[in-house]
DNA sequence: CCTTTGAATAGATGATCGTCTAAACAGGAT
DNA sequence: ATCCTGTTTAGACGATCATCTATTCAAAGG
């Protein structure tokens, strides 16, 4: 029943007490889940994850600087950018012929806060 | 072009310099993206996000303690648990008639590390 | 052995997704 | 005005997804 991933085997019989993350502390009701899940979903595609990473790395990025790195059509890249944008992870602005995208760090922070090991511990 | 989410408006013209997160520092090549994206994808469904949160909160949780909280059939819950498990986010063990699930904190930590604000800054 | 209970698997169905091509749109430059 | 280039939108198509019911499996108890 094990699927290899990293190191710690996580003793099956251990009585887990310490909270592993905010997920374990902050109650995630249905409303919260429906607000947060689309962000994770947006990052749940390899192309979009790479797009987000490139935009995060480059700061303020023209679509024309993203497209060449993928073996995909322009419209497909545009579609993925739209998904990221509608999830609230990025935003954009047209400047003449070109459109520039940038990361919304608050959104990433929201997700990170849910996942990271309990900062209080 | 704005989609409301949190507070910071993120000035469009600002020359972003400081890395917002590990995404901006760690290069996310295609291979990495294909390894990580399924984990985000698994959390990208409201039901699975709530399942993960409940398991994280409860520590070591019987399926029978999860199912009643959702308006879904047993097999559907079972399916979602399988998705989370195959993504490496949870693991399970049968104990007699019951099956218990627990969180794999290393996996959550991997994702958190990618998203959280640059810890070096 | 048979029954019972908890959970997973099999298979079906309608919805959503990722991708493409073709067309439309936005702005500069001739 | 007209063209050219970068980007988005529209629409189509096959693949994957979330859910269900029916069935099977696992393990305990008579």
Render pLDDT for A19-29 as a digit per residue (tens, 0 to 9).
778 788 888 99
Q: Is the pLDDT of residue A119 over 80?
A: no
Could you tell me if residue B11 is inside a domain? no
Could you tell me if residue A13 is inside a domain? no
> Would you say the C-alpha torsion B28, A19, A11, B76 has a positive or negative sign?
negative
What average pLDDT score do residues B8-33 get?
Answer: 70
Do A42 and A90 meet the contact criterion of CB atoms below 8 Å apart?
no
What average pLDDT score do residues B38-64 get?
Answer: 97
Cα–Cα distance list, B87 to B22, B33, B41 (Å)? 21, 13, 9
Could you tell me if residue A121 is inside a domain? no
**How far apart are the C-alpha atoms of B40 and B107, rounded to whole Å?**
10
**How far apart are the C-alpha atoms of A26 and A57, rounded to whole Å?**
30
The pLDDT of residue A10: 44
Range in A21-30, A101-110, B84-93 the model is least confident about: A21-30
- Mean pLDDT across chain B: 87
Q: Is the pLDDT of residue B51 over 60?
A: yes
On the 0-12 / 13-18 / 19+ scale of CB atoms within 10 A, B73 is exposed
Binned at pLDDT 50, 70 and 90, residue A121 comes out as low
Q: Is the pLDDT of residue B63 over 50?
A: yes
The pLDDT of residue B109: 95
Q: Is the pLDDT of residue B36 over 80?
A: yes
Q: Is the pLDDT of residue B110 over 60?
A: yes
The count of domains in chain A is 1
Q: Give the 3-state secondary structure of residue A78.
A: helix
Could you tell me if residue A96 is inside a domain? yes
- Mean pLDDT across chain A: 87
Could you tell me if residue A11 is inside a domain? no
Answer whether A38 touches B (CB < 8 Å).
yes
Strand C within 7 A of A94 CB:
yes
Could you tell me if residue A81 is inside a domain? yes
Q: Is the pLDDT of residue B119 over 50?
A: yes
Range in A56-60, B21-25, B50-54, B57-61 the model is least confident about: B21-25
**How far apart are the C-alpha atoms of A48 and A83, rounded to whole Å?**
8
Strand D within 7 A of A112 CB:
no
CATH assignment at residue A37: 1.10.10.10
Q: Which residues of B touch A85 (CB under 8 A)?
A: 1, 3
Binned at pLDDT 50, 70 and 90, residue B75 comes out as very high
Give the CA-to-C1' distance from B62 to C1 in angstroms. Answer: 30
The model's pLDDT over A39-63, given as tens digits with 9 standing for 90+, comes to 999 999 999 999 999 999 999 999 9
For residue B100, what is the nearest residue in chain A, using CA coordinates? Answer: A12
The pLDDT of residue B18: 67
The pLDDT of residue A7: 40
What average pLDDT score do residues A4-15 get?
Answer: 43
> Would you say the C-alpha torsion B23, B29, B30, B31 has a positive or negative sign?
negative
The pLDDT of residue B120: 60
Domain housing A95: 29-113
Could you tell me if residue A72 is inside a domain? yes
What average pLDDT score do residues A113-120 get?
Answer: 78
Could you tell me if residue A38 is inside a domain? yes
């Amino acid at each position: 029943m094990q699927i290899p991933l990293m190191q710690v085997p996580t003793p099956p019989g251990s009585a887990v007490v310490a909270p592993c993350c905010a997920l374990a502390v902050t109650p995630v009701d249905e409303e919260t889940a429906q607000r947060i899940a689309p962000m994770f979903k947006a990052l749940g595609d390899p192309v979009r994850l790479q797009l987000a990473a490139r935009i995060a790395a480059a700061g303020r990025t023209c679509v024309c600087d993203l497209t060449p790195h993928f073996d995909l059509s322009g419209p497909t890249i545009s579609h993925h950018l739209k998904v990221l944008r509608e999830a609230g992870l990025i935003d954009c602005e047209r400047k003449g012929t070109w459109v520039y995208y940038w990361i919304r760090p608050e959104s990433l922070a929201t997700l990170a806060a849910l996942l990271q090991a309990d900062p209080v511990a």
